Chain A
Amino acid sequence: MELLVNIVLLILLVATAGALVVVRGLLASTMLTSVYGLLCASFFVTMDAVDVAFTEAAVGAGVSPLLLLLTVAAIGRGEPRPVGALPVLAIVLVPVTAALLIIGTLDMPPFGSPDAPAHTHVAPRYLQLSGEEIGIPNVVTSVLASYRAFDTLGEVLVIFTAGVAVLLILATPGQRGSARPRYVPDNHRDPHTILQIVSRILIPFILLFALYVQFHGEYGPGGGFQAGVIFASAIILYGLLYGLPTVCRVVRPAVVEWLSAVGVLIFGITGVFAMLSGRPFLDYSVFADDPVTAQHIGILVVELGVGITVASVITVIYYAFANQFETAES
């Protein structure tokens, strides 16, 4: 049964990838990207990689198609047919790269093989000792937020840098903070009463669910990254239906920009706090006498930092994109 599901999902995945190349029209491509994300995530689910599937569902199928849609809205829908000579270099280069990648996979151990490098290095230690050292059921969270917290700090910094880069690129010179939306009165010709009411009922529950994912990451799939994305997508939903000026009055762009830095700082200060008491960077044992409790507190704080940064960076990017779009309209 599992084999059948995997085969069908992989065939659909390849078909979607092929269609993405063939289809003209950027809106259609965006829809197919979303389907591709859903398929990837389903595939991760059947492979038991629940946390990865969670992230892929929230980012690959959710937020990134939304940002692509906003981009399409700002630049126009058509994709011009290629003119001129055949891109010979690309046609040669792509099959060669693909062949190299396929040759590379031949060396990989089969899925689930016990002597795969990933299963013989540090993973057995994490799996065996996570229970007594950290004491939370979800080993993924203990690896992400405790054993490998330094790597995670790097990832959060990457996300923060992405937000800063978007602000730098989309801000026009001479006009400070022009990536922030301007407060113009909203003129919807066609108010979406039904959608607004239904979404107004749903948004609090989406936010609540985001908080559940944030603080339940130790016990089930989830954590700061996924929770941040869900939180931001609730804000985006509000913005889509009520207009950019309204959502900016609820969630101030300046505050969000500050918060994206605050999240990283929470993470970093947690590490420095340990150094001040003479321990290694990001050693959580300074928080409590009992090492397991200390780990709990540390993971909670660090995940909170991750969640704040991810949510606010995605909101910042949404504001910057949507502002471009609304400026292009007027």
Chain B
Amino acid sequence: MGYANRPLVVGEIMSSEPRRLSIYSDGTDHQYSQFVSPLLTHLERTKDVLIHTSTYLVFIAMVQVATVMAALSIEPNPALAIIGLVTFAVYMGDRIADVDTDEVSNPGQSSFVRRHESVLSVLTAAAYGLAIAISVLGGPVALGVTLIPGAFWVLYASDWLPTIGSYFKRLKEILVVNSVIVALAWAISLVFLPLAFADAAFTPVAAVIFFYYFLDTFVNTEIPNVNDVEADEAIGVSTLPVVFGVDRTRQIAYGLDIVLVGFVVFAYLRGLLGSILTLAILVGLGYALVLAAFVGRTEHESRLGIAGEAKHLVVMAVILALTAGGF
């Protein structure tokens, strides 16, 4: 069999020769291949690293904290760094843990993680360790909030305390509860960390921001589940798409985003949110509604997930634009 294929291989190599010669005959092409191609390869590789290591999520999470700080008029504080470090540790840690299951759904990422597993493992541990050390500066509340992801790791580990571990593992499988836990943990971290460092009280404005991030994260957690219907079904995890189907999930996403629009407008009318922030969030929600329309209707579901996360960049961009514009 191997020998039968040989002439074909030789033929391919020979046919490629004249093409290579023509490239060398053209100086522009040569320069292009010498400078632009490596640059593009480099950029491509950087993009892969940013996506595979969840570094883009780190940036988005920090933008979310910055939004909270702007909304609550809190000076920039170490909460920004902590959220960044914890996000990296949690998401990268998950990718290391799921490297086997990701092999089918996301082979590029899986092979990247496998290649650099030991370095990434130490980096995530160091990131979380550093986050904990910094959080001590903010006092017991900041430390407690920073420890939330760690607490979940411990609770989910069924070999640690078998009864509690399996009980919490089951929580992951229950409809809505799983996403509510993620959304709650995320909203607590985003709002309470900056407050703890600023030694500020939990005001009604903070409550509004908290609810906004809670519901928003809930929607953003359920939408990527559209991709994993079969896998989730196989392992017995109940998600909105598994129980209600993709179309109904899209409608629920619309509904929740519209609820958020109403809630934000209500908060604005009650004087809890400023006009710049309200407008920015509404633009963000508009963007989210457009994206929701693509749920289950695109072949690029993973890009849809990233686009969903990027909503927070849209909100920040609007805030910066409006502030710079003197509104």
| Binding between chains A and B | no
Point out residues on B near A: beta carbons under 8 Å.
none
